Protein backbone atom coordinates (compact mmCIF):
# COMPACT_ATOMS: atom_id res chain seq x y z
CA UNK A 1 0.00 0.00 0.00
CA UNK A 2 2.77 2.47 0.83
CA UNK A 3 4.28 2.04 -2.65
CA UNK A 4 0.92 2.96 -4.21
CA UNK A 5 0.67 6.02 -1.95
CA UNK A 6 4.14 7.12 -3.06
CA UNK A 7 3.13 6.76 -6.73
CA UNK A 8 -0.02 8.82 -6.09
CA UNK A 9 2.06 11.41 -4.24
CA UNK A 10 4.51 11.65 -7.12
CA UNK A 11 1.69 12.25 -9.61
CA UNK A 12 0.21 14.94 -7.35
CA UNK A 13 3.59 16.64 -7.00
CA UNK A 14 4.34 16.51 -10.72
CA UNK A 15 0.93 17.87 -11.69
CA UNK A 16 1.10 20.61 -9.04
CA UNK A 17 4.40 21.76 -10.54
CA UNK A 18 3.03 21.52 -14.10
CA UNK A 19 0.27 23.98 -13.24
CA UNK A 20 2.71 26.26 -11.42
CA UNK A 21 1.50 25.90 -7.85
CA UNK A 22 3.59 25.71 -4.71
CA UNK A 23 2.57 23.41 -1.89
CA UNK A 24 1.51 26.51 0.02
CA UNK A 25 -0.76 27.79 -2.76
CA UNK A 26 -2.31 24.35 -3.28
CA UNK A 27 -2.93 23.98 0.46
CA UNK A 28 -4.53 27.43 0.54
CA UNK A 29 -6.83 26.64 -2.40
CA UNK A 30 -7.80 23.30 -0.86
CA UNK A 31 -8.23 24.84 2.61
CA UNK A 32 -5.86 22.30 4.18
CA UNK A 33 -2.44 22.52 5.82
CA UNK A 34 0.82 22.59 3.91
CA UNK A 35 1.81 19.60 6.05
CA UNK A 36 -1.10 17.62 4.57
CA UNK A 37 0.04 18.40 1.02
CA UNK A 38 3.59 17.45 1.94
CA UNK A 39 2.42 14.16 3.47
CA UNK A 40 0.33 13.36 0.38
CA UNK A 41 3.21 14.07 -1.99
CA UNK A 42 5.62 11.93 0.03
CA UNK A 43 3.11 9.09 0.19
CA UNK A 44 2.83 9.25 3.97
CA UNK A 45 -0.94 9.70 4.03
CA UNK A 46 -3.90 8.61 1.94
CA UNK A 47 -6.17 11.29 0.52
CA UNK A 48 -9.80 11.54 1.56
CA UNK A 49 -12.40 11.41 -1.21
CA UNK A 50 -13.58 15.00 -0.68
CA UNK A 51 -9.99 16.26 -0.80
CA UNK A 52 -9.28 14.18 -3.91
CA UNK A 53 -12.23 15.74 -5.70
CA UNK A 54 -11.09 19.26 -4.76
CA UNK A 55 -7.47 18.47 -5.68
CA UNK A 56 -8.46 17.21 -9.13
CA UNK A 57 -10.58 20.30 -9.73
CA UNK A 58 -7.72 22.64 -8.79
CA UNK A 59 -5.10 20.69 -10.75
CA UNK A 60 -7.48 20.21 -13.70
CA UNK A 61 -6.79 16.48 -13.86
CA UNK A 62 -8.91 13.36 -13.48
CA UNK A 63 -8.98 11.26 -10.35
CA UNK A 64 -8.15 8.30 -12.63
CA UNK A 65 -4.79 9.85 -13.37
CA UNK A 66 -4.04 10.72 -9.75
CA UNK A 67 -5.01 7.26 -8.48
CA UNK A 68 -3.81 5.01 -11.30
CA UNK A 69 -1.61 7.04 -13.63
CA UNK A 70 -4.03 6.42 -16.50
CA UNK A 71 -5.08 9.46 -18.50
CA UNK A 72 -8.83 9.78 -18.99
CA UNK A 73 -10.58 11.01 -22.11
CA UNK A 74 -11.16 14.32 -20.29
CA UNK A 75 -7.40 14.70 -19.69
CA UNK A 76 -6.69 14.04 -23.35
CA UNK A 77 -9.42 16.46 -24.44
CA UNK A 78 -7.92 19.18 -22.23
CA UNK A 79 -4.52 18.62 -23.85
CA UNK A 80 -6.06 18.89 -27.31
CA UNK A 81 -7.77 22.16 -26.35
CA UNK A 82 -4.39 23.51 -25.22
CA UNK A 83 -2.78 22.39 -28.49
CA UNK A 84 -5.42 24.27 -30.45
CA UNK A 85 -4.34 27.52 -28.75
CA UNK A 86 -0.71 27.21 -29.82
CA UNK A 87 0.84 29.25 -32.58
CA UNK A 88 1.51 27.38 -35.82
CA UNK A 89 5.24 27.31 -35.04
CA UNK A 90 4.72 25.91 -31.52
CA UNK A 91 2.15 23.42 -32.78
CA UNK A 92 4.65 22.05 -35.32
CA UNK A 93 7.28 21.77 -32.58
CA UNK A 94 4.92 19.78 -30.35
CA UNK A 95 3.92 17.64 -33.30
CA UNK A 96 7.57 16.77 -33.98
CA UNK A 97 8.16 16.03 -30.32
CA UNK A 98 5.18 13.67 -30.17
CA UNK A 99 6.28 11.94 -33.36
CA UNK A 100 9.78 11.44 -32.02
CA UNK A 101 8.60 10.18 -28.66
CA UNK A 102 6.15 7.70 -30.14
CA UNK A 103 8.72 6.38 -32.63
CA UNK A 104 11.21 5.70 -29.84
CA UNK A 105 8.86 3.32 -28.04
Where residue 105 falls among pLDDT bands split at 50, 70, 90? low
Is 85 in the same domain as 47? no
Structural domains counted in the chain: 2
Give the pLDDT confidence of 66-86 residue by residue, as tens digits.
Answer: 999 988 888 788 888 889 999
* Cα distances (angstroms) measured from residue 102 to each of 23, 44, 75, 97, 98: 33, 34, 18, 9, 6
pLDDT value of residue 90 = 94
CATH code of 47's domain: 1.10.260.40
Is 65 in the same domain as 81? no
Is 83 in the same domain as 54? no
Is 22 in the same domain as 51? yes
Is 49 in the same domain as 88? no
Is 52 in the same domain as 102? no
Give the pLDDT confidence of 23-54 residue by residue, as tens digits.
Answer: 999 999 999 999 999 999 999 999 999 999 99
Where residue 9 falls among pLDDT bands split at 50, 70, 90? very high
Where residue 15 falls among pLDDT bands split at 50, 70, 90? very high
pLDDT value of residue 63 = 93
Q: Where are the alpha helices (DSSP H) in the chain?
A: 2-18, 23-30, 34-42, 49-59, 63-68, 73-84, 88-104
CA atoms of 60 and 37, how far apart (whole Å): 17
pLDDT value of residue 82 = 87
Q: How many CB atoms lie within 10 A of CB 1?
A: 7
The boundaries of the domain holding residue 99 are 72-105
Amino acid sequence: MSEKLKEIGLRISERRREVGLTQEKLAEQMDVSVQMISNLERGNKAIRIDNLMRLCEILDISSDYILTGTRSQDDISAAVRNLARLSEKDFKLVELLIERMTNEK
